[in-house]
Chain A
Amino acid sequence: MNIPMMTTAQMQHLKVLVQSGLPIAERPYLALAERVGVTEAAVIRMLDLWHQEGLIKRFGLVVKHRALGYRANAMVVWDIPDADVPVVGEKLASSAAVTLCYQRPRQLPKWPYNLFCMIHGRSRESVLAQLARLVEQHQLHSIPKDVLFSYKEFKQCGARYVSELSDPSAVTGVLASKKKCDLGLVAYSGPKAVAKDISLRGH
């Protein structure tokens, strides 16, 4: 494959622009190309290449779980013997209930957990039920774990990998992405609110 005709600075600029999302219009890649100062074909080939290389894990609709009714989410953390992490990690990751599964370092003595997974659900109860099924299915009863439900969202926006300072020409892109970032306090399922929610649903 030919390397697209683009300078390093233009690649950085493209990364900044695209990470805040495509313009929703007939020729989105052309719109990006015009801002970066390259051809539409170069943008398309560059994105395709990043995708093939794995720099881009996926490219498509990034949805907000909460807007779709998935109001509860728990980070489940496990303290697993290091040697068993790959096997258990693969098992957890293969479950449809698990949306993320990462190994992270312990920070002893305060933080003994080394495997993290995220479970989303329509209610706190459904998250706990999915967790119970995972424990049962993979025989994880004896593994110490903790369940950290989220109860407030302070900020959520797409990750920005290119800092504002590293590319002054990219300022407009950064501003655009900032605008899309939900900043502020969104309380959505505080411990009390969840309990109320469950009793209202009656199941």
Chain B
Amino acid sequence: MELSSLEMRLIDTYQRGFPFCEKPFAAVGELMGASEQEVIEAVLHLQEVGVLSRLGPVFDHKKAGASTLAAVAVPESDIDAVAATISQFPEVNHNYAREHEYNIWFVVTTSDQEQLEATLDRIEIACGYPVMSLPMIHSFHIDLGFQVDWSHAHGRVE
């Protein structure tokens, strides 16, 4: 599966600054030399092949609610079961295994600090291991999206 030139250009250009206007896909098309329908089809195709998670906002964690990065250290044999328990919480939106003694890493997001702490407590009880919470103190990164090096993949989707 290969991406079209329009699809690659959309990824390069519109990870930020998607227009706020009545017909945003037409506005994007005008700037990219494509029709409204072509842009809509390209975005739908990106979604279909699993490249697009969503078209929408990335909220500022600190301004939009409370969130933290948390980790637990579990025996390797327990990792899938514990991770599944953690993933069941709707407040958990990312959950990864990483190569470290702390081998399950997840992000918990709630609407306020009180709920965040209550959720961490419930996760700790549910999974049976101590949860280490590492809330963000400061972000040094301005989120501009992700720069894709197409020269390597030639738009091939895996």
A interface residues (Cβ-Cβ under 8 A, vs B): 15, 18-22, 24-30, 40, 44-45, 47-48, 50-51, 53-71, 75, 85-86, 89-90, 92-93, 96, 98-105, 107, 110-111, 116-117, 120, 122, 146, 148-164, 166, 174, 178, 180-181, 183-185, 191
Least CB separation from A150: chain B residue: B96
Docked CA distance A65–B94 (Å): 14
Task: Report A87 CB to chain B, min CB distance, Å.
Answer: 10
Task: Report B146 CB to chain A, min CB distance, Å.
Answer: 6
Contact A55:B139 (CB < 8 A) given known A25-B40, A29-B20, A30-B22: no
Cβ-defined contact, B22 with A27, below 8 A? yes
Docked CA distance A57–B141 (Å): 11
Cβ-defined contact, A26 with B36, below 8 A? yes
Cβ-defined contact, B110 with A163, below 8 A? yes
Contact A56:B51 (CB < 8 A) given known A98-B141, A100-B141: no
Cβ-defined contact, A55 with B60, below 8 A? yes
Cβ-defined contact, B55 with A24, below 8 A? yes
B interface residues (Cβ-Cβ under 8 A, vs A): 10-11, 14-18, 20-26, 36, 40, 43-44, 46-47, 49-61, 63-65, 67, 69, 79-80, 83-84, 86-87, 90-100, 102, 104-107, 109-111, 115, 132, 134-148, 152-153, 156-158
Contact A62:B69 (CB < 8 A) given known A92-B140, A160-B109, A163-B115: no
Cβ-defined contact, B95 with A61, below 8 A? no
Contact A57:B60 (CB < 8 A) given known A26-B40, A63-B146: yes
Cβ-neighbour of B98 out of A45, A55, A150, A163 (below 8 A): A150
- Beyond A29-B20, A56-B58, 8 additional contacts (C-beta under 8 Å) are A62-B53, A62-B54, A63-B52, A122-B153, A152-B97, A156-B94, A158-B56, A161-B110
Task: Report B10 CB to chain A, min CB distance, Å.
Answer: 6
Contact A111:B46 (CB < 8 A) given known A25-B40, A62-B53: no
Docked CA distance A59–B97 (Å): 28
Cβ-defined contact, B152 with A62, below 8 A? no
Task: Report B47 CB to chain A, min CB distance, Å.
Answer: 7
